[in-house]
Amino acid sequence: MVNPDSLFKKIFYGILSAILLSAGWPPHDFPVLLFVAFVPLFMLGSDKNLRISDSFIVGFIVFFLFQLMSAGWMYSSTFAGSLITHAFNAFVFGIVLVLWTTGTKIFVKFSFPLFLVLYLSMEYMHTIWAPAWPWFPLGNGLAENTDWIQWYAFTGVQGGSLWILCINWLLYQTIRYGMKQEWKQASWFSAAIVLLTLGPLSFSNYLQNQNLQEASYPVAIVQPNINPRTEKFNGLTEQEQVGRTLQLISSTDFTGRRIVIFPETFLTNPINEDSVFFSVSLQNITSHFIEFQPISLIMGAFTKLDSSRAIYDQDALVGKKNPYVLYNSAILLNEKDTLIYHKMKLLPLVEKQIFMPLLMPFRDYIEKSGAYFGSYGIYNEYDKFLLSDSIIAAPVICFESVFGAYTAERVLKNDADFIVLITNDGWWSSDGGYLQHLAYARLRCIETGKWMVRCANTGVSAIIDNHGTIMQKTKYGEATVLMGKVGMNKESPTFYTRNGDLIGKYALISLIVFFVFGLYLRFGKYHFFR
C-alpha cells in the first residue's frame, strides 16, 4: 500500500507513531491516541522492499522518542542510567521491527499475528530478564482510565496491550481497503472495530459494579516530604530527618489506627538486621507510639547482613575488611514481631548494575548521577507481614509496583488482605514520574482485586480501592499525615492473581514456534501460504 522512497519518509512514519504514543500516555489525557499510534508503522510495514537497516533505524527512533517524550523526567535523576535504559529498550524494539518486516516475507498471511507475538514477547521479557523495565507495556497507557479496563483482573496489563494492537490493526485495514475503494471489506473491519471497542468497555462496566468493598481498617500514612536529591541523601542527617518527622506527627492522634506507614528509605543509616533496636532513630519512632498500642508500624530503611548471614546474596557483598550485603527494606514492628522484607525487583542501572565489567570506566559518572554501582541484596527468608490483629499485608517497595505478576504472586503467596506500597517519588524535576508511578499502582489493585495503601516520602500518598479508584490522596510536595481506612478483600483470588501473565507466556511460546517454522521454511525455500 505504501512505498516510501527515502529513509526520511520512513523516519517520518516512525516519528508520527512516537508522537501519538506519547500524547496518549499518562499523565496526558488522550488515551484514545494509543489506538491509532501503530497505524503509521503498519503502513510502513506494508512496503515489501523495506530494508533491514531501515526497519531497525525506524524502530529505534520510534521507541527512543516515545520514551524520551513520555519519561524525559528520568534524566533529572540519573542521566547515565536513563540514557542507557532508553537506548537499550529502543534497540530491542528495533530488533522487533526487523524480525517482523523480515518474517512477514515468509509468513505472508500471518503478518499481524507475527507482530503480536513479537511485541507481546518483548513486553513479557521486560518483566523477567536482568534489564527488566516494564514501564512501557501498552496496557499501562490506560492506567488513568480504570473504568475501561476492569478486565485486567483476568488478563493483566498485557490484555490492554493486545486490545490496543488489535484495534490499531483493524483501523489500518479499514484505511487500506478504503483507499482502494473496496468498501465492503472496509465496512467489515469498521464493524470489527466497533465490536472490539464496545465489548471490553461493556464488560469493564459490569465488573466495576461487582465486589464492592467497604473501607473498614484504620490506617495512617506519614508523608515527610524530605527531598531525596537536596536533603535526604544530600545534607540532612538521619537524626534531623527523624526529628522533622516526629515534629510532623507530634500533634496527630493515632488512637484507633491499626497500622502507621512510613515511606521507602525513611531511615537512611543501614541497620544491622541482627540488632535492629540498636538503631536510635528506630527507637525514637517506636517510643512515640507506645501509648497507641496495639499498633503496627511499617517503615522503609536500609538494612544489612554480614557475609556469614547473607549466604544467598554473596554476589552483592560490599566492603573488604568486614563484608556485608546492603538491602532496601521494609520493616514491620509490632508487639509480636519484627519482620523485614527485602526489595527484590531492583531498578536496573540504579540499584543494580547488570553490565558492571563494561560500565566500570563510567563508575564515577554513574555514581554522581545518583545510581548505586553494585547491587543490593534481594533474598527473603520470610516476607509475610502479619499485623498485630492477624491481618496480612503484602509489602511492595517502589519499582516493584510496576511488575504486575510479581505483585500478584506476593498477594497470592501470603494470602494478603491488602497491599502496602512504600516509595520515594521525589527524584525528578517534573511531575510525569510520580504521576505515572501513581497511575500504575492503580493497575495492581485491579489485577489483584486488593486495596492498596500507598505511602510516598515525596510524591502522592494514597488509598486505592480494589477497582483502582483513588479514594484518598495527599498533595505532591506537602508534609502531612493521611488518616483513612482501607478495605480488605476476602473474595477468592482473581484469575490474574492465580495465573499471572499468561498472554506473555503464550506469546513467547508462539514466537518460538514461528522461529522454528521460519527456519525450516526459509532454508527449505518455501513460502508459507503464499
- Per-residue pLDDT of 31-63, as tens digits, reads 999 999 999 999 987 777 778 888 999 999 999
Q: Is residue 396 part of a domain?
A: yes
In the predicted structure, residue 530 carries a pLDDT above the cut 60: no
Q: Provide the pLDDT for residue 358.
A: 66
Regarding beta strands 296-306 and 480-486, do their DSSP bridges make them parallel or antiparallel, or are they unpaired? unpaired
| Statement to judge: residues 230 and 325 lie in one domain | yes
pLDDT for 339-394, tens place per residue?
A: 999 999 998 878 887 766 666 666 666 655 555 667 899 999 888 899 878 899 99
Q: Is residue 357 part of a domain?
A: no
| Identity of residue 350 | V
Task: Report the alpha-carbon distance of residue 296 to residue 337 in Å, rounded.
Answer: 9
In the predicted structure, residue 226 carries a pLDDT above the cut 60: yes
Residue 473, beta-bridge partner list: 462
| Statement to judge: residues 168 and 205 lie in one domain | yes
Give the C-alpha distances (Å, rounded to integers) separating 329 from 272, 282, 289.
12, 14, 21
Average pLDDT, the chain: 90
Reduce the DSSP state of residue 486 to 3 states and report it: strand
pLDDT band at 1 (very low <50, low <70, confident <90, very high): very low
| Statement to judge: residues 448 and 508 lie in one domain | no
Task: Report the alpha-carbon distance of residue 155 to residue 215 in Å, rounded.
Answer: 26
Percentage of the chain modeled with pLDDT above 70: 94
Task: Report the alpha-carbon distance of residue 392 to residue 421 in Å, rounded.
Answer: 14
| Statement to judge: residues 404 and 514 lie in one domain | no
pLDDT band at 290 (very low <50, low <70, confident <90, very high): confident
| Statement to judge: residues 493 and 518 lie in one domain | no
Task: Report the alpha-carbon distance of residue 110 to residue 93 in Å, rounded.
Answer: 19
| Statement to judge: residues 512 and 484 lie in one domain | no
Answer whether 408's CB lies under 8 Å from 496's CB: yes
pLDDT band at 528 (very low <50, low <70, confident <90, very high): very low
Task: Report the alpha-carbon distance of residue 258 to residue 334 in Å, rounded.
Answer: 10
- The x, y and z cell numbers of residue 353, run together, are 548494575
Q: CATH no. for residue 327?
A: 3.60.110.10
pLDDT for 83-112, tens place per residue?
A: 888 999 999 999 999 999 988 888 888 999
In the predicted structure, residue 228 carries a pLDDT above the cut 70: yes
Q: Provide the pLDDT for residue 336.
A: 81
- Residue 349: name the closest of 362, 325, 366 by CA: 366
Peptide bond into 27 cis (omega under 30): yes
| Statement to judge: residues 170 and 307 lie in one domain | no
Overall domain count for the chain: 2
Q: Provide the pLDDT for residue 51.
A: 84
DSSP state of 279: -
Name, of 44-53, 67-76, 111-120, 290-299, the range with top average pLDDT: 111-120
Q: Provide the pLDDT for residue 509.
A: 96
DSSP state of 266: S
| Statement to judge: residues 106 and 71 lie in one domain | yes
Task: Report the alpha-carbon distance of residue 330 to residue 265 in Å, rounded.
Answer: 8
| Statement to judge: residues 324 and 470 lie in one domain | yes
Task: Give residue for cell 556485608.
Answer: 324
Q: Is residue 163 part of a domain?
A: yes
Regarding beta strands 324-333 and 296-306, do their DSSP bridges make them parallel or antiparallel, or are they unpaired? antiparallel
| Statement to judge: residues 462 and 517 lie in one domain | no
DSSP state of 231: I
Q: Is residue 248 part of a domain?
A: yes
pLDDT for 103-159, tens place per residue?
A: 888 888 899 999 999 999 999 999 999 889 999 999 999 999 999 999 999 999 999
| Statement to judge: residues 222 and 307 lie in one domain | yes
Q: Is residue 511 part of a domain?
A: yes
Q: Is residue 366 part of a domain?
A: no
Q: Is residue 360 part of a domain?
A: no
Give the C-alpha distances (Å, rounded to integers) separating 334 from 65, 189, 287.
48, 60, 12
Task: Give residue for cell 496526558.
Answer: 28
Of 22-26, 56-60, 274-278, 487-491, give the lowest mean pLDDT range: 487-491
Task: Report the alpha-carbon distance of residue 383 to residue 394 in Å, rounded.
Answer: 8
Task: Give residue for cell 517534573.
Answer: 430
Q: Is residue 280 part of a domain?
A: yes
Which domain, by its residues, includes 117? Answer: 7-210+500-523
pLDDT for 426-460, tens place per residue?
A: 888 778 889 999 999 999 999 999 999 999 998 89
Answer whether 81's CB lies under 8 Å from 369's CB: yes
In the predicted structure, residue 463 carries a pLDDT above the cut 90: yes
Task: Report the alpha-carbon distance of residue 350 to residue 399 in Å, rounded.
Answer: 11
Q: Provide the pLDDT for residue 529.
A: 45
- Residue 238: name the closest of 272, 282, 278 by CA: 282
Percentage of the chain modeled with pLDDT above 90: 68
- The x, y and z cell numbers of residue 238, run together, are 538521619
Task: Please name the residues in contact with 203: beta carbons below 8 A apart, sequence gap of 6 or more.
Answer: 150, 151
- Residue 44: name the closest of 124, 101, 117 by CA: 101
Answer whether 18's CB lies under 8 Å from 69's CB: yes
Q: Provide the pLDDT for residue 525.
A: 53
Average pLDDT for 304-313? 92
Q: Provide the pLDDT for residue 2.
A: 45
| Statement to judge: residues 137 and 17 lie in one domain | yes
Task: Report the alpha-carbon distance of residue 454 to residue 462 in Å, rounded.
Answer: 5
Residue 142, beta-bridge partner list: none
Q: Provide the pLDDT for residue 384.
A: 84
pTM of the model: 0.92
Cα–Cα–Cα angle for 125, 128, 133, nearest 5°? 70
Task: Report the alpha-carbon distance of residue 100 to residue 382 in Å, rounded.
Answer: 44
In the predicted structure, residue 251 carries a pLDDT above the cut 50: yes
